[in-house]
Structure formats: structure tokens, C-alpha cells
Amino acid sequence: MAPQWWECIFQIWFASEGKDDDFTYNGFLSSNLTRKGIAEITPDGLLRLTNDTQQEIGHAFYSIPLNWNNTSNGNVFSFSTTFVFAIHHEDPILSGHGIVFLIAPSEELPGALPSQYLGLFNTTNNGNSSNHVFGVELDTIENTEFGDINDNHVGIDINSLRSTLSSPAGYNSSEIGGFQNLSLKSGDAMQVWIEYDGVRKQLNVTLSPIDVPKPIIPLLSLPFDLSTVIKDPMYVRFSSSTGSMLTSHYVLGWSFKLNGEANALNLSSLPPLPHIGLSVWKRRALRIGLPIISVLLLIMTIFSVITYRKKKKFAEILEDWELQYGPHRFFYKDLFIATKGFREKELLGVGGFGMVYRGVLPTSKVEVAVKRISHESKQGMREFIAEIASIGRIQHPKLVRLQGYCRRKGELLLVYDFMPNSSLNKFLFDEPKILLIWNQRFRIIKDVAEGVLFLHEGWIQVVLHRDIKASNVLLDNELNAKLGDFGLARLYDHGSDPETTHMVGTFGYLAPELSRIGKATASTDVFAFGAFMLEVACGRRPIEGKVPPEKVLLVDWVQECERRGAILEAADPKLGEDYVVEEMVMVLKLGLLCSQPLPENRPSMRQVVQFLEGQAPFPYRSDGIGANVIAVEQEEGSYPTTDSESPFSRGGGR
């Protein structure tokens, strides 16, 4: 009798405990969900993770944490979940970010950022194995920082937004035959199945339109042991975030089961999606009703009269042609508040083209760097903003992201990602508080070289930076380098000639041919990069006044040391002898090679990267290369000759 009695008790206990591991929501009006950030449940029963608020995060999770591990064998239990979702972008062309189903160890995700981080991670913890986060992303942005395959994909994420496995969104149709593409941002409802077999350690992800039965062949199939990631207890949840685009992320229904197959959703009982043709403002107006709208309009009219003087202070003109660049435009008032009225205490630095302030955006609380510059050319304003908007779409790990701009009267403000360690020059010149060791300097040189190479060859257009120097190289918390300040950058199509004929930049970094033709090219960027390499290796600026006359011009001083066979005399004395001799010699000689007076004798940035990475033999010869560049700048039309057998005069690598 005793064994049967204990067996009954165990079955009753298991049934009472197991009910928390199995739920089905055909709509969320009576759901057991906890919501964070801007997530909400609409009156119709939709789970809406995001709204029209920019740079915000929305989370929703099952309120009871689950125990996933089978104590008898240490493996994670099998589980199954299915949900119906829809992503609606207000702009039919430009996309916002996607949605993620995930399993995470806590209610909060500390330090999570919006936009491309989808409310999961940040620049510091993305990719850390200590995250213990598993997710399936439905992403509508191609982010090169995370290696995304396109701007419409499904990916399996293990502790990182760099997907372990991903595929273009779609499904394998048995009726039509072959792979059928789906647009995640279409606003149409779609169903996802995520299944993990704890015995076979196999993970499957399947996607289809809501009116198509579950396909037999999964979209993604990954052999993986989740016991290395999942620990007890953990929450099942959804996460999404907004960037600069107006995007709404909806979940219509959700079913989940631990150690079994999730119940099928009753698709006919799911709440309806809002009418896609209506804007956010119109949908709200219809829900509230015309009488309430009339009252609000009256209040707004009174408020407008009272606050007229205050608003006039922040008045700005938005012309019709500028509307196409709207997603990259910030309001002056927001930047004024972010920088505390451009207070002197928030000043990060002063340059020849403007002042840079630290700011915290009032809505998202994200730190940014705001640069104020003057732009006197009214005729070129439209072209300037068009290029700023274009450059704002460039994303690369070695480039500081330009988030957007603000135009007010004769003033332009450029908004960048904030870099906590500011610019490189404060670590090199005068008496730096922190001395960069050689390994850090060499890594910084290679980081900036990769960034410039991407600008020249890695994007849909050629981007000329036109102001490469140490003060425009910014450092993050770990002293990793990113090239920033695109206020002078210009773009042109691959295979064509740049049209800019206005010489800009910083003296000491300007290629000599600029004084003749005034036209920037990829080769003039290479010249500036050569001066930058010498800065980093020698620990001084290209032109220094408080030194003996023979050392005033850095490139001449390094050239003279090289001619005497003592090039290491030019190395930064603050380093002592604590550097790799071969690397130091190569950087100094490569700096001279890039500083060639004749542009056809300079290497391309692709060749520079190959030399720095040791992927190509270094071709330097000591026969007059790198001669007095500043003298050539001052003597218009006079160029010293070099050996006709230069490896670059034949067009190698161009």
C-alpha cells in the first residue's frame, strides 16, 4: 500500500507544480505577464511591446520563473513554444528594429540599450558567456556590427546579438514548392514555432504566415546543448526596442510548454491588429473620440499662447526638401536640454570647426556627443544635409556612429555616439595622465586603418573623411579606437571622380596636391593617415613649435633619422625601449610612405592594412621617399621626383 500512496502524492504534486510550466494565451487581457518599459496590453488584448516613442525598450515576460534543468541527468528539459506576431513600420521604406523571444535569468536586463541592441545587451556585455541568455531574433535591420546577413532575417542568439545561425525570413512550402520569402516588417501576422529536444539536443525554429499550416521543414535547425546556457530559474519573455524610426511590435497570442509540446493557438480567437493604413495619431484619435479631441485642441491652443515666447527661443525651419532626411534630424530643444544649455561644464573639446559637448538625450537617457559648427554656405546646405543623412547610415565597429544632425538658423549640430575616453590626442601629447603602451598604439593604428578602408571600399559609396588626425580618433572604455567626426566627409560613387573642389582639413595633414587642384581623393586621406601614424609612433604633432628647428616638421625629422640609419630616434621617448622594434620601424617607414608628395606613389588603404597585418611584404626603400612634404605644399607646382619603379606608380592596389 505504501508505494501506491507515495506514487499518488507525487502525481498530485507534479500536476500542481507543472501548471506553471504550461500556458496558452489567445490574446492577453487575462494573461499572467509582467511588463517593463513601454510594453502595454491594448484594450483589444494585443501585447504591444513598442509604440511611437523613440529610443525606448519594451519587455514582457511570464511572471513565474521556470526550472529548466533535469536534476537526474543535468540536461535542460525539452520545451516548445509558438506565438503570433506582427511588426508595423510607419515608414514603408525605412525600417526600425525587430523583436526577440528569449530566455533570461532575471526580470531586469541590466544596462540593456535600445536600437540595434534590441533591449538585450550593451557595448560591454554583448557576447559575454556570463549573460546566460538564449534568444530567437526576428530582425528588420542589417547591422554590420553584429554580422547580420540582411535586413530581413531570423537568427538564433546565444549570449550575443551576433547570431550563431541565421536565415532570410521565409518558409519551406510543401504546396507551392520551394522556399517562400516573407517580409517581417510587412505588418502581416506571422506564426513562429521554437522547439528544443533536450534528449537529442536539437533546436528548431519554424516560421510561416498565419494562414499557412506549420511547415514540415524548419527554417533553422541547430544542434546545441542549451544546458551550457540555461540555469535555474529563468524567465521566458519578449523584448524589443525603438530607434529613430516609428515602429510597433505586436504579439497576438502565445503558447508555451516545458517538457512537452505547446498547445496550438486558436487563430480565430486572436485579437485583430490595428488598421495598418492609419497613422499612430489617427488611431489614438479614433479611440479617444472626437469630443475629447476637441477639448485637447482647446487646451493646446491656450497652452500655445502662454508658451509662445519660450517656443520662439527654440524655433527652427524644416523645409519641404528636408523631410526625406527627417529620421536623422534631432530637435534643437532636445539637444539644448541634453547638453544643459551647452554649458561649459559639458564641453568635451574645442576644434577648428566647432565645439563638442557631452549630452544625455532627455527621452532615452542615452549619452551622446554634440558638435556645434557654423555652416555659412546657404547654397550647399541641402547637399551637406543629404550627405550627413547618408553617412548616418554607415555602421562599422571602427567608426563612431553619426546619429544625425540638427539645423537651426546658421548653425549645424552633429550628434555622435558618446566615447567615454574622449580623443586619442590627450593620451599622446604634452604630459598625458595615462601613457599608452606600444601594443595599445599599434592596435589603435590598425583599428583606424580598418575604419578608413571601410570608408573607401566597404560601403555603397566612397566616403572621403578629409580630416584624419589623432584628435578625431576616439577611445572607448577599453581604449579601443574608432574614427569619428564626419563633419567634413564627402561621398561619391565607386568608379567616378569626387566633385568637391573646396580644400578643407588641418594643416600638417593636407596632401600637397590639394594646394594645386583643391580636390580630395582617397589618396589625400592616405596622406593624412600617414601623418597620423607618425603622430602615434612619435608621440607628437605633425608640426611642433617648441622643438629645435630640424624637428619642427615631423615628417622631415623622421625622414632625416631614416637617412642616417637611426629611424628609432624618432620613436616616442616616453616609451623608452618598451616596444616591438620591427613594428615600430614598419610604422615609421609606412608613415613616410603614405606621406609621399606624389599621390601615385602612395599605397591604397587596402595595402596599408595588408602591411600592418603582415599579409603583404613591405616595399619601403630609402631613396628619397617621404622628402620634405611641407616644402612641396608651399612651393606650388614643384614636386620632388621618386624612383620610376615605385610599386605604386604602376597602379598596384589602386
Catalytic residue among 467, 485, 525, 572: 467
Find all residues with CB under 8 Å of 153, minimum gap 6, and list them: 137, 139, 163, 166, 167, 168, 169
User: Which amino acid type is present at position 97?
Assistant: H
For the chain, first and last CA: distance in Å? 88
Report the C-alpha gap between 553 and 333 in whole angstroms: 44
What are the angstrom distances between the C-alpha of 354 and each of 332, 351, 373, 451, 631? 17, 5, 5, 23, 29
- 154, containing H or E segment: strand 153-158
Backbone angles phi, psi at 128, to 5 degrees: -75, 135
Spell out the residues 6+ positions from residue 200 whose beta carbon is closer than 8 angstroms to its own: none
According to DSSP, residue 540 is labeled S
CB contact set of 90 (below 8 Å; sequence gap of 6+)? 52, 245, 246, 247, 279, 280
Say which amino acid occupies 312. Answer: K
Across the beta sheet with 165-168, the strand order is: 33-37, 57-62, 235-241, 99-104, 134-139, 153-158, 165-168
Residue 519: count other Cβ atoms within 10 Å of its Cβ: 16
467 catalytic? Reply is yes
> What gap in Å lies between CA 358 and CA 370, rounded to an integer?
6
For the chain, give the longest Cα–Cα distance.
108
The type of residue at 455 is: L
Q: What share of the chain is helix, strand, coil (3-state, %, to 5)?
A: 30, 25, 45
Rounded distance between C-alpha atoms, residue 285 and residue 270, angstroms: 24
Alpha helix (H) residue ranges in 505-597: 514-517, 522-538, 554-563, 581-594
350 φ, ψ (degrees, to nearest 5): -130, 130
Known catalytic residues are 467
